[in-house]
């Protein structure tokens, strides 16, 4: 389990995250929801130690996250991080060099799953295929947790459906996932838990299946309650 405990972060006078706490559990897809600028990316960057937090802590299995724990956590940011002149295969070779958790068999499976050509140059791919390569690089690591920042952003509906199908495949099975997305409809039925951020705080945390069953409300209904 990853625990986010009392995390705060300001940029200058702007308090972006205020005492944020929730957990990311294995075998669950947790969706982080919030309006533009509500601090979703900032929280992910703090969790990955790409930025320092002002206060609070991040724990994995009860211990403070250390740099070596990043072999257990994949981060798929909203933009591709490898150089665009690389081919897909060169990008995979790069990952294999840097990450002991890189699993070439899983990479092969994902190339097939996404119908990618490993000899294609990344810079020449469509936006949808670049998003798929981004997922390929992150999900080829044998990690317990996956942190994904807006994997559907700017992508057409059919490609979004293809990407969403990853969540029900064995590629994700058993891992704990934190995903931020504005495209809730694409994965509504796949999400186990929702965490809503507003004005820097967690304002609601719920299991959508229970809310659907007990209140007859969808995630979007709950979003309207909170953000309108
Ligand atoms: N390095 C930085 N310096 C100053 N302000 C920053 C920095 N990074 C983020 N911010 C501010 O923090 C706030 C939260 O930004 P963040 O990107 O985390 O939001 P978000 O919820 O991911 O937004 P979106 O849904 O649009 O991607 C924004 O107001 C942003 O301008």
Around 22, how many Cα atoms within 13 Å sit in the side-chain half-sphere? 24
Q: State the average pLDDT over residues 125-143.
A: 92
Confidence of residue 186 (pLDDT cuts 50, 70, 90): confident
Q: State the average pLDDT over residues 11-23.
A: 95
Check pocket membership of 181 for ligand 1, CB cut-off 6 A: no
Q: How many CB atoms lie within 10 A of CB 43?
A: 28
Task: Answer yes or no: pTM beyond 0.90.
Answer: yes
Q: Say if residue 65's pLDDT is above 90.
A: yes
Q: State the average pLDDT over residues 120-136.
A: 92
Atom of ligand 1 nearest to the CA of 42: 18
Q: So what's the pLDDT on residue 168?
A: 84
Tell me which residue has its CA closest to atom 2 in ligand 1.
11
78 vs 1, which has greater pLDDT? 1
Around 40, how many Cα atoms within 13 Å sit in the side-chain half-sphere? 24
Q: What dihedral do alpha carbons 114, 159, 76, 14 form, nearest 10°? A: 180
Share of the chain above pLDDT 70, in %: 100
Q: How many domains does the chain have?
A: 1
Check pocket membership of 34 for ligand 1, CB cut-off 6 A: yes
Check pocket membership of 154 for ligand 1, CB cut-off 6 A: no
Query: If we measure between CA atoms, which residue out of 180, 91, 172 comes closest to residue 133?
Result: 91
Confidence of residue 188 (pLDDT cuts 50, 70, 90): confident
Q: State the average pLDDT over residues 112-129.
A: 93
Which residues span the domain enclosing 49? Answer: 2-227
Distance 53 CA to ligand 1 centre (A): 14
Beta strands in the chain (DSSP E): 2-11, 14-24, 29-33, 55-60, 63-64, 73-76, 145-149, 176-180, 193-198, 201-206
Ligand 1 pocket test, pick from 10, 17, 33, 38 with the greatest ligand atom count within 8 Å of Cβ, gives 38
The ipTM of this complex is 0.97
CATH code at 84?
3.40.50.300
Check pocket membership of 16 for ligand 1, CB cut-off 6 A: yes
Distance 198 CA to ligand 1 centre (A): 13
Strand partners, 59: 3, 64
Tell me which residue has its CA closest to atom 28 in ligand 1.
37
Distance 113 CA to ligand 1 centre (A): 33
Backbone angles phi, psi at 60, to 5 degrees: -125, 125
Check pocket membership of 199 for ligand 1, CB cut-off 6 A: no
Distance 23 CA to ligand 1 centre (A): 22
> How far is residue 103 from each of residues 64, 108, 148, measured CA to CA in Å?
26, 9, 19
Give the whole-angstrom CA distance, residue 84 versus residue 63: 37
Q: How many CB atoms lie within 10 A of CB 87?
A: 16
Alpha carbon 6 to its chain centroid, in Å, reads: 20
Around 150, how many Cα atoms within 13 Å sit in the side-chain half-sphere? 15
């Amino acid at each position: 389990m990853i625990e986010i405990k009392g995390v705060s972060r300001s940029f200058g006078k702007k308090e972006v995250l205020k005492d944020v706490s929730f957990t990311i559990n294995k075998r669950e897809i947790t969706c982080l929801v919030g309006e533009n600028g509500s601090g979703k990316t900032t929280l992910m960057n703090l969790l990955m130690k790409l930025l320092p937090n002002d206060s609070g802590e991040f724990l994995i299995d009860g211990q403070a996250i250390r740099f070596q724990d990043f072999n257990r956590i994949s981060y798929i940011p909203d933009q591709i991080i490898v150089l665009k002149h690389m081919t897909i295969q060169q990008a995979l070779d790069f990952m294999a060099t840097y990450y002991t958790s890189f699993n070439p068999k899983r990479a092969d499976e994902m190339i097939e799953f996404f119908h990618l050509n490993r000899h294609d140059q990344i810079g020449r791919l469509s936006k949808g295929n670049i998003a798929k390569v981004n997922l390929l690089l992150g999900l080829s690591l044998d990690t317990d947790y996956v942190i994904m920042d807006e994997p559907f952003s700017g992508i057409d509906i059919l490609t979004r459906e293809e990407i969403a199908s990853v969540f029900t495949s064995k590629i994700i099975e058993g891992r704990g996932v934190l995903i931020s997305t504005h495209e809730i409809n694409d994965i509504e039925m796949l999400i186990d838990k929702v965490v809503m951020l507003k004005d820097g705080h967690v304002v609601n945390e719920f299991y959508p299946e229970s809310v659907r069953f007990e209140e007859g409300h969808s995630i979007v209904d709950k979003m309207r309650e909170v953000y309108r």
